Structure 1
Amino acid sequence: MTNLATLLVNSATVHGAHIAVRHDDTALTYEQLDEASARLAGVLRDRGVGPGDAVTMTMPNVPLFPVVYYGILRAGGVVVPMNPLLKAREAAFVLRDSGARMVLAHPMCAEEVAKAAAETGAARLVTDSDAFDALLLAAQPMAGVVERADDDTALILYTSGTTGTPKGAELTHLNLLTNTATTAQTLLLLGPEDVLFGGLPLFHAFGQTCAMNASVAAGATLTLLPRFDAGRALDVMRRDRVTVFLGVPTMYSALLQARRSDGHDASRLRLAVSGGAALPVEVLHSFERTFGATVLEGYGLSETSPVAAFNHPDRPRKAGSIGTPVRAVEMKLVADDGTTVEPGAVGEIAIRGENVMKGYFNNPDASTHALRDGWFHTGDLARVDEDGFYFIVDRKKDLIIRGGYNVYPREIEEVLYGHPAIAEAAVVGVLDAVHGEEVAAVVVLRTGEEATSEEIRDYVRERVAAYKYPRVVALTTELPKGPTGKILKREITVPSSSVRS
């Protein structure tokens, strides 16, 4: 049967008494999670939700998330996860664009969701309440799982809208089932004895496939942290004996800083996975030395379910590389005219395989632009070496052109992370009357460390070509981040008082 919800049904049959999901003192076994999702499916069925109907859900990383997620799928519905921090205007766009019949909201999001639902006419259920618990208990559990076709949409993931209006990537049941299996079986090598750290937002593709769905597929345990805090994360890792950590680069930097005074015992940790953005090589090596676990970088996008490339655990790896394509996936680098670039040259990553979305929901123009000749064009620039390992250079739109020369922020950020006083760094382009664009660096210093803008500028100048080093250097206490912890360059403002030379 093709339905992503069969992951839960199968694991409940085999691992019924095993803990599936945990959050502090709350834990659900696979049997309990399976029954709760069946009851939720019954509630949706009784309210007219049927195969192909979109249902939005908005909630943090709590045990009820997988209950609702698999319940919608079980009923044959299409899951439309929303960031719980969205305001009413943003939520209304998702509800309207997806055509959602219902929205299920955690109490923390209820007020904004209520406004959005009233504007769009969607029905609303507030979860984590006595009334909702009573509703589940009174519901007749749905027997079995509604069968869907391989190409039926299981999930619509809305992009962050960095290039304009958010677009909903349509992922099929087959997209997600195969990408989940690849992740669990060949990349994370998961078993029931594993405990995965669930600090990545579950409404995001990385958290859904690589943490929640992969954990459920393997009959493992997912321990949740609703809001990432490095000190709290270390406590959870110690308490629940986490074996697999999944995070974005800023989480790794934060854990290294918190670990200095924590004395954390991570003896059970065997594997760490980084994605979402480039992980500085120095941070990777520092984490491995400190925590004694192998760090594997991977690469993917919402549109690719998300995993497309990975440093495979059973093959040689290369620090700083996103690895090689995962099974049943092809990658190539193309020029602006669509031709394949020469080896060693920079090109845009294009992807083809069982993980690629069917298109952007209700947006044929965007689908046609992104999906050309069977290949999904990512907008990410990379090089590939003689061994087939890909190295991200930068986002196509982040490229800085200074006086006619291409400057890739990723390269400069790698140099900055080598400075002993720097905890986080971002490089962006700023308008310049002479050169068109100037290279600017915005950095956060490590706790207790000191460095001036001039010192940082000179540090980079000694290590890169003259046209590359940042003439603009700004010190700040915090960089803007998105819900996954990814640095949001579009929200960075460079103070006019920053050093220039």
Structure 2
Amino acid sequence: MRITQALRRAVQTQAHTRATLCGDREQNWETLEARVARLAAGLRALGVTEGDRVGILALNSDRYLEVIYAVAWAGAVANPVNIRLAPGEIAYTLEDSGARVLFVDATFAPMLPALRAAAPSLAHVVYTDDAGLPESCHAYEALIAEHARIADAEVGGDAIAGLFYTGGTTGKPKGVMLSHDNLMFNTLNGLPALDYDASAVYLHAAPMFHLADMSNTHCVTVVGGTHAIIPRFDVEALLAMIARAGVTHTTLVPTMINLLLQSGGLALHDLSSLRRMLYGASPMPEALLLRAMEALPNTRFTQGYGQTEAAPIISFLPPEWHYAGSPKLTSAGRPAYGVEAVIKDERGAEVARGTVGEICARGNNVMQGYWKRPEQTADTLRDGWLHTGDLGFMDEDGFIFVVDRVKDMIITGGENVFSVEVEGALYQHPAVQEAAVIGVPCAQWGERVHAVVVLKSGAEASAEEIQQHCRGLIAGYKVPHSVAFRAEPLPVSGAGKVLKTELREAHQTA
């Protein structure tokens, strides 16, 4: 399978229907494909060949969509950059991937001098906005206008389509290699679960770099629906676009849903078109979900559980289980049709129903591995199974319940935060003797990052000083939301490992 076959099918079946709506720009599928083919020609003119990596660092737009398909049309590999990373982390992902070309918009163009210095592999930068062309950048529209369309390279199958960087326990993001088959197989898993057809109008409100949103991108394209796009999540912009475009589907993380409910704007807009809400990427408090269902009674809710390494869907909780008193409401649902999921113990054996173990999955959606990290790949893909690092159990009906994470990963606002990375930043503060980072429940963000710090003898530091120190080293969403100081050493096991379970219990009772 190929990513571009979704685009070509849309043109074949829905050539003259609306493909994108973004600001005051609107185009049909025939026009979109022509622009993609010409942009791919522009990439080839810049020296991009099959397998080369191309980065995109931008807010949501119709041009973001064009870049994703143009990179595939040229036979290259996309690196959709996490816009929430710190500049140093962004530079690392570009250099680690070996990106030759970077598409950037006005929001992130000020980073270019630092990015170019830190990522010498970058040979060209394409500026995606119309005004304020930075020095030594190619103009996006000129790159399309100056080149005739080329034929689809028809690269697909096991060839890598994208590198999607996710957090790493070493403190450095690692690139998840997803093939064309991985992404398109995930698309086929999503179509029946999310009720997509040619009438679908999907709103890109979550960031388009994130697979929670991008998994819907190919679903909408393959059926020839419409991509309605706002630059970033904003309650008023979201509500206005739903009413304007007749949006039928969207994806929001729990944090966004909470902000939407708190806004008071639901009653001010016509939301009658919204028939499906996909949520996931972080824990959804049951009380919040119930409030959302009550506030949007004509919208059918679906939970998607997965991770980047699974492209990303492992299981769905469909609408029929979304009701007050549902015995499955707190579950992650059942495995998607093309995914096999089991719960395993530490020896790799499947456990009995109702027994907690590690959630493992396999299917054609599972990644090829981590870019240039064979040891971590071998540790995650064992015996043909993706080991998710999540603890959970499966009930007698095949529903998966996630209860904890094997690794100390924190999910805050839909983004993954690894405690080791935050601890590495804390330990760089001259006053810090010991530090441990845990996730604690938070009504707004699902979880918040909480740091427990032991200061050096005679040293002084405030929580605000610790937080400001971290902001210079890691992305803002990774900075501890709260800091607790303790006089005694951190509790450790016989092997010398910090007992984070005790810290969590102490926080719960504090």
TM-score range, shorter chain: 0.7 to 0.9
Q: CA deviation at 1:326?
A: 0.7
Query: Does the 8 Å contact 1:284/1:295 carry over to 2?
Result: no
Residues 250 and 429 of structure 1, relative CA distance in 2, 3 Å threshold = closer
Moved more, 229-238 or 79-88: 79-88
* Aligned match of 2:112: 113
Are 1:492 and 2:481 counterparts?
A: yes
Moved more, 369-378 or 237-246: 237-246
Are 1:356 and 2:366 counterparts?
A: yes
* Aligned match of 2:300: 294
Residues 171 and 177 of structure 1, relative CA distance in 2, 3 Å threshold = same
Question: What residue identity is the alignment partner of 1:279?
Answer: M
Question: What residue identity is the alignment partner of 1:24?
Answer: G
* Aligned match of 1:330: 340
* Aligned match of 1:263: 268
Correspondence list, 1:463-474, <5 A:
none
Question: What residue identity is the alignment partner of 2:129?
Answer: D
Residues 117 and 432 of structure 1, relative CA distance in 2, 3 Å threshold = closer
CA deviation vs aligned residue, 1:54-77 (integer Å, no higher than 9, x gap): 111111101100111100100100
* Aligned match of 2:279: 274
Q: CA deviation at 1:151?
A: 0.8
Inter-partner Cα distance in structure 2 for 1:429 and 1:109 = 29
* Aligned match of 1:202: 208
Residues 366 and 162 of structure 1, relative CA distance in 2, 3 Å threshold = closer
* Aligned match of 1:304: 310
* Aligned match of 2:181: 174
CA deviation vs aligned residue, 1:286-340 (integer Å, no higher than 9, x gap): 2121111121111111111111100245789821111111122111112233332
Q: CA deviation at 1:365?
A: 1.0
Q: CA deviation at 1:9?
A: 1.7
TM-score (norm 2): 0.78
Query: Does the 8 Å contact 1:158/1:166 carry over to 2?
Result: yes
Inter-partner Cα distance in structure 1 for 2:204 and 2:360 = 30
Correspondence list, 1:25-104, <5 A:
25-104=24-103
Residues 285 and 60 of structure 1, relative CA distance in 2, 3 Å threshold = same
Give the 3-state SS of the residue equivalent to 1:146 in structure 2: coil
Q: CA RMSD for the aligned pairs?
A: 2.9
* Aligned match of 2:233: 228
Inter-partner Cα distance in structure 2 for 1:162 and 1:490 = 16
* Aligned match of 1:244: 249
Query: Does the 8 Å contact 2:81/2:209 carry over to 1?
Result: yes
Are 1:132 and 2:137 counterparts?
A: no
Inter-partner Cα distance in structure 1 for 2:104 and 2:288 = 37
Q: Which runs of 5+ in 1 are unaligned?
A: 401-408, 418-422, 434-473, 475-485
Inter-partner Cα distance in structure 2 for 1:431 and 1:495 = 5
Inter-partner Cα distance in structure 1 for 2:108 and 2:330 = 38
Inter-partner Cα distance in structure 1 for 2:102 and 2:276 = 36
Question: What residue identity is the alignment partner of 2:128?
Answer: T
Give the 3-state SS of the residue equivalent to 2:61 in structure 1: coil
Q: CA deviation at 1:425?
A: 5.6
Q: Which runs of 5+ in 2 are unaligned?
A: 132-138, 411-437, 455-462, 464-474, 487-506
Inter-partner Cα distance in structure 2 for 1:428 and 1:164 = 16
Inter-partner Cα distance in structure 1 for 2:318 and 2:484 = 42
Inter-partner Cα distance in structure 1 for 2:207 and 2:16 = 26
Residues 386 and 336 of structure 1, relative CA distance in 2, 3 Å threshold = same
Q: CA deviation at 1:219?
A: 0.8
Inter-partner Cα distance in structure 1 for 2:365 and 2:60 = 25
Are 1:320 and 2:330 counterparts?
A: yes
* Aligned match of 2:380: 370
Inter-partner Cα distance in structure 1 for 2:30 and 2:188 = 21
Query: Does the 8 Å contact 2:318/2:333 carry over to 1?
Result: yes
Residues 163 and 243 of structure 1, relative CA distance in 2, 3 Å threshold = farther
Question: What residue identity is the alignment partner of 2:447?
Answer: A
Inter-partner Cα distance in structure 2 for 1:158 and 1:314 = 34
CA deviation vs aligned residue, 1:404-445 (integer Å, no higher than 9, x gap): xxxxx99x95xx86xxxxx56637776599xxxxxxxxxxxx
Give the 3-state SS of the residue equivalent to 1:357 in structure 2: coil
Query: Does the 8 Å contact 1:56/1:82 carry over to 2?
Result: yes
Residues 47 and 239 of structure 1, relative CA distance in 2, 3 Å threshold = same
Residues 490 and 341 of structure 1, relative CA distance in 2, 3 Å threshold = farther
Q: CA deviation at 1:132?
A: 2.7
* Aligned match of 1:392: 402
Query: Does the 8 Å contact 1:309/1:323 carry over to 2?
Result: yes
Are 1:155 and 2:165 counterparts?
A: no
Q: CA deviation at 1:396?
A: 2.2
Q: CA deviation at 1:389?
A: 0.3
Query: Does the 8 Å contact 2:285/2:446 carry over to 1?
Result: no
Question: What residue identity is the alignment partner of 2:214?
Answer: Q
Q: CA deviation at 1:350?
A: 0.9
Question: What residue identity is the alignment partner of 2:181?
Answer: L
Residues 261 and 297 of structure 1, relative CA distance in 2, 3 Å threshold = closer
TM-score (norm 1): 0.79
